[in-house]
């Protein structure tokens, strides 16, 4: 079967923008043709200032929330990145062949480091994409479901895989006693059409994000019905007649219709024709209901999962041990291909 991997940072407020990936992993995990691995990237979470007292709890609750989105743990491996040491080990090996120029060009690095200021930025923020590449390449992944904002990191992962395959794979590896061939599978990004870039409720031109100061800008997966209703009531709109996708003068309109499409499960065409003659007063309660209907079962499963932390820990431990088995093989091959003395 095809292998699918993805990761998410542990954070206190998991918002609607992030839901797409667990939904996708969830639906693929229920199919027999895919093998899914899904991890909480706690090692990535320390690349910007963070609160050490909250990291472990955020890791656990993020894992629970993702499981609640429908990931089938009898089939998928769900685990914590730091529990599989091979991620960091492979990262070191990969970093030797990653040109600094590639990392300097990363948009997320530029944005985040600009915001924090040079003296406050650790080296790990720069090498962040190398760790991400190792998360993916360790498992010889075929597909990586992500949002639009991770596209550039995926592109770098692909280029890095090609580069390492070229430098150390194939005949050179065979001469060193390996089986030859490619060391890494070159993965493909899977960016679903609806929800790949969910925008802020208060500004249709910026991304819905966990770090935005105002909680009004996002719908959190654990928001209550009243909170959701209030956020939708107060969200930014416009005063043009009707509702439509794709009008560059109406980014908020496009975003709210896209959110409706995402949570209602309807097609874009259905949503476009259903809403074309609506005004905001009609649409907002419909959107609110669709959001509540979509999130309620997730919230119920979330409280079930968090009520039994022993069970959750067991799922994470099993996930880590399945992942380790795959990761060990890849890492061993890379060491051999790069010429290290066997231990
Ligand atoms: P993170 O934790 O910021 O986000 C998790 C996933 O959610 C997507 N996403 C969004 N999609 C649509 N609209 C939004 N507003 C929005 N905000 C976030 C992200 O694209 C991501 O897919 N570097 C990654 C985590 C990571 C990873 C990996 C992903 C580490 N290693 C290996 C895939 C494979 C990140 O910070 O995602």
ipTM of the complex: 0.99
CB crowding 313-326: b at 16 or more within 10 Å, else e: eebbeebbebbbeb
Element housing 275 (H / E): helix 268-275
Q: Which domains are seen in the chain, by residue range?
A: 2-196+308-337 (3.40.50.620), 215-304 (1.10.240.10)
Catalytically active residues are 112, 207, 210
Give the residue from 6, 9, 13 showing the smallest Cα distance to 27: 6
The mean of the pLDDT values for the chain is: 94
Q: Count other C-beta atoms under 10 Å from residue 309's C-beta.
A: 11
Instruction: Grade residue 72 by pLDDT with cuts at 50, 70 and 90.
Output: confident
Binned at pLDDT 50, 70 and 90, residue 176 comes out as very high
User: What's the CA-to-centroid distance between 312 and ligand 1, angstroms?
Assistant: 22
Tokens of 269: 């065409």
233 pLDDT higher than 80:
yes
Helix (H, G, I), strand (E, B) or coil at 144: strand
pLDDT band at 12 (very low <50, low <70, confident <90, very high): low
Give pLDDT, residue 117: 84
Which residues contact ligand 1 via a Cβ below 6 A?
5-9, 17-18, 20-21, 41, 44, 132, 135-136, 144, 146-147, 149-150, 195-198, 207-208
Q: Which of 3, 4, 7 to mutate to test the pocket of ligand 1 (most atoms within 8 A of CB)?
A: 7
pTM, to two decimals: 0.95
The pLDDT score that the predictor gives to residue 189 is: 96
Q: Cβ distance 258 to 195 under 8 Å?
A: yes
If you write DSSP's letter for every residue of 5-63 in order, what string do you get?
EEEE---S--BGGGTHHHHHHHHHHTSTTEEEEEEE-TTGGGGS---HHHHHHHHHHHH
């Amino acid at each position: 079967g095809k292998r699918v991997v993805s990761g998410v940072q542990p954070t206190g407020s998991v918002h609607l923008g992030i839901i797409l990936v667990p939904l996708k992993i969830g639906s693929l995990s229920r199919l027999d043709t895919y093998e899914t691995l899904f991890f909480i990237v706690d090692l990535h979470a320390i690349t910007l200032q963070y609160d050490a007292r909250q990291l472990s709890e955020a890791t656990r609750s993020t894992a629970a929330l993702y499981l609640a989105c429908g990931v089938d743990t009898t089939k998928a491996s769900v685990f914590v990145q730091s529990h599989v040491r091979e991620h960091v080990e492979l990262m070191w090996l990969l970093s030797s062949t990653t040109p600094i120029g590639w990392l300097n060009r990363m948009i997320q690095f530029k944005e985040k480091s600009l915001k924090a200021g040079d003296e406050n930025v650790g080296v790990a923020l720069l090498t962040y994409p190398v760790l991400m590449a190792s998360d993916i390449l360790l498992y010889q992944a075929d597909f990586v479901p992500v949002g639009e904002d991770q596209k550039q990191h995926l592109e770098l992962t692909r280029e890095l895989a090609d580069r390492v395959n070229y430098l150390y794979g194939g005949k050179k590896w065979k001469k060193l006693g390996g089986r030859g061939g490619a060391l890494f599978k070159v993965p493909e990004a899977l960016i679903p059409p609806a929800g790949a870039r969910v925008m802020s409720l208060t500004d249709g031109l910026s991304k819905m994000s966990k770090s935005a100061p105002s909680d009004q800008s996002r719908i959190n997966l654990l928001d209550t019905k009243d909170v959701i209703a209030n956020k939708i009531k107060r969200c930014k709109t416009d005063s043009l007649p009707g509702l439509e996708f794709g009008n560059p003068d109406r980014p908020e309109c496009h975003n709210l219709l896209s959110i409706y499409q995402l949570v209602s499960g309807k097609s874009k065409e259905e949503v476009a024709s259903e809403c074309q003659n609506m005004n905001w007063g009609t649409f907002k309660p419909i959107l609110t209901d669709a959001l509540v209907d979509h999130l309620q079962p997730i919230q119920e499963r979330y409280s079930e999962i968090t009520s039994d932390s022993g069970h959750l820990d067991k799922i994470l431990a099993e996930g880590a041990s399945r992942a380790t088995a795959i990761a060990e093989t890849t890492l061993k091959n890379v060491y051999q291909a790069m010429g290290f003395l066997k231990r």
